[in-house]
A and B are shown apart, each in its own frame.
Chain A
Amino acid sequence: MDPGNYIILSSILFCIGALGVLLRRNAIVVFMSVELMLNAANLAFVTFARMHGNLEGQAIAFFVMIVAAAEVVVGLAIIMTIFRTRRSVSIDEPHLLRN
C-alpha cells in the first residue's frame, strides 16, 4: 500500500498532539500530547526509511524512543513536585511568573 498514507497519519497524529498541548489543562495530558508528537515523528521516520529503503530511519526511531523515555522521567519528576506543592496539575494555575 502507499506509504504516503502513513505520512498523512503521522501528520494527523502530530497535529492532534500539538492541539492537545494547546487545549488541555492537565499537565500530564499536555505531556502525553508532546509524546504523541514525538511518536508521530517516529512514524514518519520509519515510513520514510521504508520509502528510501535504508535502515537509518528505523534506527533513529529507537533513539527517539529512548530520548522520549528520558523525557518522561524528567517530566514526571517536575510535574509531581509541582503537584505536591499545588495539589493540582493544572498548568494554568502556576502563573506567578509574568510581567
Chain B
Amino acid sequence: MNVYIPLLTLAGLGMLFALFSVSVTSLTGPKRYNRAKVDAYECGIEPTPQAVGGGRFPVKYYLTAMMFIIFDLEIVFLYPWAVASDQLGLFGLAAIMLFLFNLTVPFVYEWRRGGLEWD
C-alpha cells in the first residue's frame, strides 16, 4: 500500500488546492455573468458576425495564430539542430530541410488561399 502514499498525497494535494482556488474565486469573485463572459474573446474584440460577404469566416485571428505557430516551431527546432549541427552532418541537414519544407507547406497554402490579405 505504501507505494501509493506519494501518489495519493500528490493527487490529494492537487485536488485540494485546485478545489480551494476554484471555490475561493467563485465565492469571493463578483458574479456578473453576462454575454461578454461567453464571448469568443473575453478581451473584448468582438468578431463581427455579419462580416463582409455575409457571414464569411473572419479568419484573421487564427490565421495569425497559425502563422505564429509555423515560425515559432521553426525556431524551437532550429535551435537544437543548430547546436548539434556539426555532429549531425548531412543527415541532420537533410532532416531539418525536410522539416522546414513541411512547415512551409501550410504557409504556402495560407498565402495562396488569401489568408495573408488584410483586405
Contact = CB atoms under 8 A, between A and B. Distances in A.
Contacts of A62: 76-77, 80
A15 to B, nearest CB: 4
A26 B38 CA distance: 5
Judged by DSSP, the binding face of A is: helix
A87 B49 contact: yes
Contacts of B37: 26
Given A28-B40, A76-B65, A87-B49, A23 B17 contact: no
Interface in B53-78: 55, 57, 61-62, 65-66, 69, 72-73, 76-77
A65 B47 CA distance: 27
B49 A15 contact: no
A82 B11 CA distance: 35
Nearest to A40: B14
Given A62-B77, A69-B72, A80-B57, A15 B38 contact: no
A60 interface: no
Classify chain A's interface size.
Answer: 20 to 34
Interface in A1-28: 7-8, 11-12, 14-16, 18-20, 23, 25-26, 28
B40 A73 contact: no
A63 B72 CA distance: 13
A77 B61 CA distance: 10
A66 B78 CA distance: 13
Contacts of B40: 28, 79-80, 83, 89
5 contacts: A19-B18, A23-B22, A69-B73, A73-B69, A84-B55
Interface of A: 7-8, 11-12, 14-16, 18-20, 23, 25-26, 28, 59, 62, 65-66, 69-70, 72-73, 76-77, 79-81, 83-84, 87-90
